[in-house]
Structure 1
Amino acid sequence: MAAASGVGVVGLTVAARPSSSKLPRPCSRVPVRMSVSLDEKKKAFTLQKSEEAFNAAKELMPGGVNSPVRAFKSVGGQPIVMDSVKGSCMWDIDGNEYIDYVGSWGPAIIGHADDEVLAALAETMKKGTSFGAPCLLENVLAEMVVSAVPCIEMVRFVNSGTEACMGVLRLARAFTRREKIIKFEGCYHGHADPFLVKAGSGVATLGLPDSPGVPRAATIDTLTAPFNNISAVEELFETHKGEIAGIILEPVVGNSGYIAPKPGFLEAMRKITKDNDALLIFDEVMTGFRLSYGGAQEYFGVIPDLTTLGKIIGGGLPVGAYGGRRDIVEMVAPAGPMYQAGTLSGNPLAMTAGIHTLKRLKEPGSYEYLDKVTDELVRGIVDAGKKAGHAICGGYIRGMFGFFFTEGPVYNFSDAKKSDTEKFARFYQGMLREGVYFAPSQFEAGFTSLAHSPEDIKKTVAAAEKVFQQI
């Protein structure tokens, strides 16, 4: 797969990472829960209540959901309505239990509904849920973020990854006094107009709107290139000399499925932007505090000018942030002229959940444990798929992973689209019946947590072996 930058076996690759003398340790805080055997789960599996709830929801909300991928359009079958979560598991309203590898799309890195986080939130709520004024908790989380993320000297909290990317784009344009931005095909940076771009037939083609309602004027300055293609980026800078404000990228792609950078790609992006007086922006909404405590930039040793964060820094509550070099971020109002605001930004609940999540991640052995369980999971699934005669490849870094139903390798979105999505849908539905919940799309990364136990991994691999034989 995509992580050609590191050590791997046939069909599975792992991006190069810093060496460590620490040994993985078992997670000491996995919640105790009642478990059901895979066979018992299958016999009891029904989605009748989910079907009834979803049918009602379709009359109330567009498509019955508040975020499109939840509607199961790409995998078919009945969307699942969840009731509760704990540790590594989720339960739907029909009472089915699932080992969860979505983790609320990344935030649940220490496990769902962690007791310490919940207790801290309960105490915070006694003081109120939102002030609309500064609170001391903002200082605490900001100091933790600034101390952890190499490029961040100042940070601005917002309420979502989309807001963070909107803010950082405006900031990059304000600082450089340039309009054009480069993004990569298949990389998602929220649903703001400038990012909803479909790549043209050539690497220098101006972006076209990828959604009705997005005016051409909003995307005309968005340039696109294939991920992992250095020459395409160089060509864009040559064609648009002195016009490009910067490059924004997911250092590890998570919204085309998991795609890791080739050796030297991130370093090349750093050099190209410096040579052209442009800014390098890492969208670490997914990778921040997941690949390492300092994010992808610490993991790969490539330091951008600006960074966006989200998910983990809110511990499961709505949050986002952008930050970077002090001289750039001081342009943000009220310190500078670039305006951006938000009523709920820095609210005490999100700050509290983020603080306690980051404290847990800083404990010795956390990332080594994520590395261990994710390695066992991905190797087990890829090996099982190949033994059953399927074309499959996969990769991971720490607590982020993915696999494609293609021989691979997968270096960009075009490669990812070669995956057999119909087979993925059959695999997905089979795994649901066996009590395993992956993201309902071939083109989404998966996530592990400190709450995933070795037994969870064994059950998941056993379920995959069974399903691979059936599809």
Structure 2
Amino acid sequence: MESVKSIETATTALATHPTGKLDISREKSAALYEKAKTYFPGGVNSPVRAFRSVYGTPLFIVKGDGCHIWDADGNKFIDFCCSWGPLILGHNNTQIREKVTETMQNGMSFGAPTALENELAELILSHNKYIEKLRFVSSGTEAVMSAIRLARGYTKRDKILKFEGCYHGHVDSLLVKAGSGLVTFGETSSAGVPKSFADETIVVPLNDLKAVKLAFEEFKDQIAAVIIEPVPANNGLLLQEKEFLQQLREICTVKEALLIFDEVISGFRLGFEGAAGYYQIQPDIITYGKIIGGGLPVGAYGSSAEIMSNISPEGAVYQAGTLSGNPVAMSAGIAQLSELAKPGFYIGLNQKTKKFTDEIEQYSEEKNYGMKVFRIGSIFWFAFTGLENIRRADEIDPKSMEKFKLFHRKLLNRGVYIGPSGYEVGFISSAHTENDLEKAKKAIFESLDFVFHQQTDASFTG
């Protein structure tokens, strides 16, 4: 990399600058973004990357190693985005890299079975009592799409019940009051989704059993499945009580509808068995995302052997994909999940996260700042709120995003990278060392001080 300069230079200057106006250089990233806008809608290939809800232009990343990333201008950051969660072992993990390199010597795609699919499936199923069979796909969105089709095919019903603020990928019928980038841009649905598709989706608020029961009464014998992120983490971290999830399980059983846990984020994050294991609740279908491929494009959905027997070629529910079970992604998954399956892995990771987030929240409380840190496992969310709990999308104050916007900018200037939206969560990996977390905490404390003591600055033009 040409003339790699540490972010620490900018950090030192900031410490002596009374108003903290100095920003890191984004000259090369800005130039790349201008060129990208001539190729891609909005200059990006996924909406939140556009930095529309924070200051400045997107950072173009050129390298990642451990818990650090470097941008095109040579700035170095402690990364809490972790490619939106799947890099639980950090960037450029040695075991994953070596396993992938070994596999690539023999080819990268065959559109035919390989033994690597068997190996990864056995590793997952032997450590997860909540599914008996699975099917690999190429993304979390594809996993959810396939799970919905399976639920409809199995129950012979059409309607799906989802929860406001839960995001399940860009599946047409589920882009209704969803989270993630849609919330970032203040939208509740997507153009291009036919009304007839949306009409098959029933949307109710989170943490509202009465609304769920009313939906089943109104659409008697029409609901194929209830789908929920058991840990809603695409619209803030809207932690649900176990009792609510357990009640959903019981309602679905009585009404003969399937319960789908969308664990694209929580799967293999809270523990090897994900949220199903964390809450000890048996869903009917579970969907997983790119964490099972070490960050490579992959997903999966799993269920009982009986329900999965409905999938083609064994059953009548069709689903296929040339890159499903891609050998490179399978090898990365084997390397990553082998590490995750080791005794004590999650205990150490979750304890490290708890200590980190507890100390940030304690600092905020001592300073009487209106900021809380919500956490589960190694997932956390900075929320500019005075509420003790936020369980529903409508409990998030949109005005709080102005504080996040300034907070995000201050963190970048101090060498800390978090997702460019106040609705997105953060992640800690096993690669984050005690020293890294201490540096990050210091940057977070300084940024909070700035946000709450100087919330406006005329020189910030974004």
> TM-score, normalised on structure 2?
0.90
TM-superposed CA distance for 1:166, in Å, is 0.4
Give the whole-Å Cα distance in 1 for the aligned partners of 2:308 and 2:316: 11
Quick one: distance in 2 between partners of 1:152 and 1:271?
Answer: 18
In structure 2, what residue type is equivalent to 1:227? L
Deviation of 1:370 after TM superposition, in Å, equals: 1.4
When residues 306 and 126 of structure 1 are mapped into structure 2, their CA distance, relative to the original with a 3 A threshold, is same
Aligned AA (1:84): K
In structure 1, what is the equivalent of residue 75 of structure 2?
Answer: 96
Match of 2:205 in 1: 226
Structure 2 letter corresponding to 1:181 = I
- How big is the shift at 1:301? 0.5
Match of 1:287 in 2: 266
Instruction: Give, as a single letter, the amino acid of the residue that structure 2 aligns with 1:138.
Output: E
Q: Which residue of 2 aligns with 1:22?
A: none
5+ long unaligned stretches in structure 1: 1-33, 200-207
- RMSD, matched Cα: 1.8
Corresponding residue for 2:419?
Answer: 439
Letter in 1 for 2:380: F
Name 1:457's counterpart in structure 2: 437
Residue 18 of structure 2 is aligned to residue 39 of structure 1: no
Q: What's the TM-score once normalised by structure 1's chain length?
A: 0.88
CA contact (8 A) 2:144 2:262 kept: yes
Q: What is residue 183 of structure 1 aligned with on the other side?
A: 162
1:253 CA displacement: 0.7
Partner of 1:297: 276
User: In the alignment, which residue of structure 1 is the partner of 2:19?
Assistant: none
Q: Which residue of 2 aligns with 1:424?
A: 404
Q: Relative to 1, partners in 2 of residues 1:450 and 1:169: Cα closer, same or farther, differing over 3 Å?
A: same
2:352 pairs with 367, 373, 378, which one?
Answer: 373
Distance 1:41 1:177 in 2: 64
* Deviation digits for residues 314-361 of structure 1 (CA, Å, limit 9, x no counterpart): 101000101101111111111111111101010100000001100111
Q: Which residue does 1:402 correspond to in 2?
A: 381
Question: Where do 1:239-388 residues align within 5 Å?
Answer: 239-388=218-367
In 2, the alpha carbon distance for the partners of 1:242 and 1:44 equals: 58
Which whole-Å deviations, capped at 9, do the CAs of 1:242-284 have from their partners, x for residues lacking one? 1111111101011011121124011111001001001000001
Distance 1:384 1:48 in 2: 34
8 Å Cα contact 2:231-2:266 kept in structure 1: yes
Equivalent residues of 2:11, 2:415 under 8 A apart: no
Q: Distance in 1 between matches of 2:62 and 2:13?
A: 17
Q: Distance in 2 between matches of 1:140 and 1:419?
A: 49
Decide which of 83, 90, 96 is 2:62's aligned counterpart. Answer: 83
Task: Give SS of 2:381's match.
Answer: strand
Letter in 1 for 2:449: Q
**Structure 1 residue 412 and structure 2 residue 392: aligned?**
yes
SS of equivalent to 2:126: helix
Select the structure with the greater relative contact order (CA < 8 A; seq sep ≥ 6).
1
The question of whether the paired residues in 2 share the 8 Å contact of 1:57 and 1:65 is answered with yes
Query: What's the CA shift string for 1:183-234, capped at 9, x where partnerless?
Result: 11110100010111138xxxxxxxx981111101111110011112111111
Deviation of residue 470 (structure 1)? 1.2
Structure 1 pair 62/366, CA: closer, same or farther in 2 (3 Å)?
A: same
* Residues in 2 aligned to 1:298 and 1:59: alpha-carbon distance in whole angstroms: 46
Query: What does 1:195-214 correspond to in 2, within 5 Å?
Result: 195-198=174-177, 210-214=189-193
Cα deviation, residue 115, structure 1: 0.8
Aligned residues: 430
Distance 1:277 1:121, change over 3 A: same
Distance 1:390 1:343, change over 3 A: same
Deviation at 1:150, TM superposition (A): 2.6
1:145 and 1:152 in contact (8 A); partners too:
no
For structure 2, the 5+ residue unaligned runs are 1-5, 15-21, 179-186, 452-462
Letter in 1 for 2:205: P
| Candidates 110, 114, 138, aligned match of 2:93 | 114
Structure 2 Cα separation of the partners of residues 257 and 41 of structure 1: 33
Give the whole-Å Cα distance in 1 for the aligned partners of 2:431 and 2:210: 42
SS of corresponding position for 1:358: helix
Contact 1:209–1:219, Cα closer than 8 Å, also in 2:
no
Q: Deviations over 1:79-112 (max 9, x none)?
A: 1110100111100011111111110011100111
Pair 1:344–1:64, CA change in 2 (3 A): same
Counterpart in the other structure of 2:370: 391
Amino acid at match of 1:292: G
Deviation at 1:151, TM superposition (A): 2.1
User: Which stretch of structure 1 is more off in the superposition, 379-388 or 68-77?
Assistant: 379-388
Q: Identify the residue that residue 205 of structure 1 maps to in structure 2.
A: none
**3-state DSSP of counterpart to 1:264:** helix
| Map of 1:192 onto structure 2 | 171
Counterpart amino acid of residue 457 in structure 1: L
Tell me the secondary structure at the aligned position of residue 156 of structure 1.
strand
Say which SS state the counterpart of residue 301 (structure 2) adopts: strand
